[in-house]
């Protein structure tokens, strides 16, 4: 015997009973199934790249960078792809709805727009699929800043006199403090910047007639990270 019927969206039950020539009726046999024709509606989130959306000299020495984030309305094992610099890197969604994809740091640095795209192909239990994507921009600054000049506002200091020293960098720096500076026969104080870290001033108070100001720069291992990295 064959028959047809129209199933409804959601849970369905089909029951079958048989009757013989003598009028005996069997117990019903049932078939339960779910009709799901609706595709999932996924979303994709991308965490800050490198932790701060900026690639610094310290990041550049790493062979790979992890691109992480979370998704919604997707299943464990659904494929996540990261597209950057014309390359594609793949991973999967875990049981908690998170993903982590290892991307070549060289491609992050080389991407002309400094923007990557994450593409998710989400699925549901019925096999319906739907794609979702998101973009995230980041900064690239892998050049170590250098000291451009150190200028004293007085040509000579007597014992007990003070002067202002101005230090100019090739780019804005942060995490720069008095521990990065030394001066023989003098006391340093009031280190400050008025332009966001490009130029710094400090007061120097002489202790003797012999003075020498020394800036510990890159040659001494004191590398100052640019603002925004």
pTM score, whole prediction: 0.63
> How far, in Å, are 117, 140, 187 from residue 63 at the CA level?
20, 15, 43
pLDDT (tens digit, 9 = 90+) per residue, 41-99?
999 999 999 999 999 999 999 999 999 999 999 999 999 999 999 999 999 999 999 99
Distance (Å, rounded) from C-alpha 84 to C-alpha 107?
7
Task: List the end-to-end C-alpha distance of the chain, in Å, as a whole number.
Answer: 73
Q: How far, in whole angstroms, is CA 167 from its chain's centroid?
A: 32
What element of type H or E holds 76? none
Is the confidence at residue 157, as pLDDT, over 80? Answer: no
User: What is the CB-side half-sphere exposure of residue 133 using CA atoms within 13 A?
Assistant: 9
């Amino acid at each position: 015997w064959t028959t047809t019927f129209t199933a409804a969206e959601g849970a369905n039950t089909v029951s079958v009973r048989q009757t013989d020539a003598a009028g005996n009726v069997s117990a019903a046999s049932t078939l339960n199934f779910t009709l799901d024709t609706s595709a999932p509606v996924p979303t994709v989130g991308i965490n800050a790249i490198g932790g701060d959306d900026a690639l610094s000299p310290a990041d550049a020495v790493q062979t790979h960078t992890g691109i992480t984030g979370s998704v919604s309305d997707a299943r464990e094992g659904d494929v996540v792809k990261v597209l950057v610099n014309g390359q594609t890197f793949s991973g999967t969604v875990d049981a908690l709805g998170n993903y982590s994809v290892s991307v070549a740091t060289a491609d992050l640095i080389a991407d002309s727009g400094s923007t990557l795209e994450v593409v998710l192909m989400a699925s549901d239990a019925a096999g319906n699929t739907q794609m979702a994507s998101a973009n995230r921009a980041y900064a690239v600054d892998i050049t170590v800043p250098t000291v451009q000049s150190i200028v004293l506002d007085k040509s000579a200091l007597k014992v007990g006199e003070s002067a202002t020293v101005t230090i100019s960098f090739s780019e804005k720096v942060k995490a720069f403090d008095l521990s990065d500076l030394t001066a023989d026969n003098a006391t340093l104080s009031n280190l400050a910047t008025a332009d966001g870290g490009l130029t710094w001033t400090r007061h120097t108070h002489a202790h003797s007639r012999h003075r020498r100001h020394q800036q510990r720069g890159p040659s001494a291992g004191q590398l100052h990270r640019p603002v925004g990295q």
